[in-house]
A and B are shown apart, each in its own frame.
Chain A
């Protein structure tokens, strides 16, 4: 063998091993030494294209094609080079030339089919792939690509057949299995496909691809616990692979098993540290676990390494707000809007951060909500056919991702349970279901229908709601986590009502008809701040369901400690610089008083230190401020045993937190403002018979704190009787609330009936049903 031939052989071996860079030198040398055989030149062209000088590589390919005009290989390589560089039109042309030379060349048929598919020419692509499968029936990729073209041309059943054929030819390829799963439901063959995958798993226990496919299909079918079992087994078979763990982490997160999801996704991040989406997934579950500081650190790093991204900026905005950096959070949300003003996600982020920022006005917030509503996608829907009988039993839909132990749950479940079942039947349209959660089980027991909508896009969700003939749709999610309020823009029901669940203020959604409220949250005159009509309940707008596991109320701690302890157990997002200034002023006026701040985010040392430093800068020593981090719910409530008086934050007041403090015998001093979220505590305190704890100004708030702290006897007396008072008050009187809610829903329904039915000739419409 001559040296040039030897060098050429070495180069070919390196090419075959995918070592394009290493192949360059021997091939270049071989050619320079005189080996100008077409095969050698083409091999050098490939190496140049992949690792050296791409233009030179392409020139060489063309030269070889000219020398051997009947050989399809050089033109195929040129086509692949063009495709890899994104020059799709030139690539298509080159593939066409390959097929002119060799109409049965599978690589060209597959690649050209794929390119045609990408630019929407599914029919043409399908023709090519059918030809390919005919000439190369053992080519798995041909069948897979045929499946993709069939899927694109709305032929789900043949598409599934093609994907299954691809799997048969290459059983370990996960893409083929997942493509099959994606089309199975559309093909209407989910039972048969699940059975096929189950049998295949039994026959090939060491094939995780099939198990992953089975797990994902089970999830699509709403059988999440089984899906998790299967995916966990697949992940155990492949402990160091990213994809199985990522799929498992996703299903766990969607199943409200967030702590387990975090462990899995942390491992995925370790295995694939340069993948921004993987790290965003991890940050998202950390934020759901209230580990905002860790989540924020990851997101900042991802932005630093990969540049701005809307989804990551929106997550960052929410995490930043939850760390008490409200102005910064709003700025991040606005930056995300700047990247794409028509995108929904950044508008939602702004709506979710603005209410926490000091001095946000009701009009400003309403405008932001309306701006968000304006970009929500809307698809023309047929008219609703609900029977406008004002007095008939009604189907009420509850739309929420938080029908469980969550503020939405604690504040609505008792009211929902006590609706008259003869008048209202409930359908829960829920996401992030937590089947074991006691409050989720209460909703489920109260409802006649329970539909998990996680896998449904807005169009499918709209269709489900309309198919169920829901008369009144109550949104309990807003723009929050796993919320589906945007679907309401397509009108799921003739009457749509916003209630608890990111109910910071008006939804701004044009199709949201009513806003469930009370006279304290929205006194007369507040109507212009809302896009909806106000549906005022006779007492408070929520009904608190106290937990059976709450500890007993203990005696006023000041009686034994000798000093007053203020407390605030609210989310740090609500604690603005102005709140800190106000609390510091109170502490300066009562020099021996202390303040306990307790919330998840204070488990993070640097975050706690930042708050201590903020107080220190206002003259309050660190030993007077006690930051406390996460604890279980019972322990959380038990720690009110260390608090004499709760100081409410503003402008975003406590909601459930205020109710829990009341149940533990601790009253809250509150300062309501203009937006809905600023008035929750005022509503709860008034509803519980304590309106004299509602301040009219910041000065009044401070004076009230000093005065209440100075009358320990009155505080002790109130504390001793407060739980009983709250239990008997409308705040906890579920049957009374249920009657009020039922009457309000009926009013809203009757209004629709009146507005829908054309008045009879001569009929005078006298009922003013919405007052």
Chain B
């Protein structure tokens, strides 16, 4: 079963990280990617740019209209994700715990199962 491990980040928390913490996160993601690639569970991963540069398109008087800024005014944003194919939901949670973000207060990983997909070259 496939799960999206969604990394929720708070830009303020990220900015306040010490250099060691940043290095730990960087190498931690490297180790995590190697581990789930070798186990045959990794499908893909993406990291997103800062939400301050986002443009949001939504209806204004029934017409799609673009405005600068993220969709939700919030402190936390989606920073990126891992798409994994695993044995069970328990295993997905186990993997989420290995993502370095899970050790930093203010960051967190949401585990959500995939329901439908199309378009990817399998």
Chain B binds chain A: no
Q: Which A residues are within 8 Å of any B CB, using their own CB?
A: none
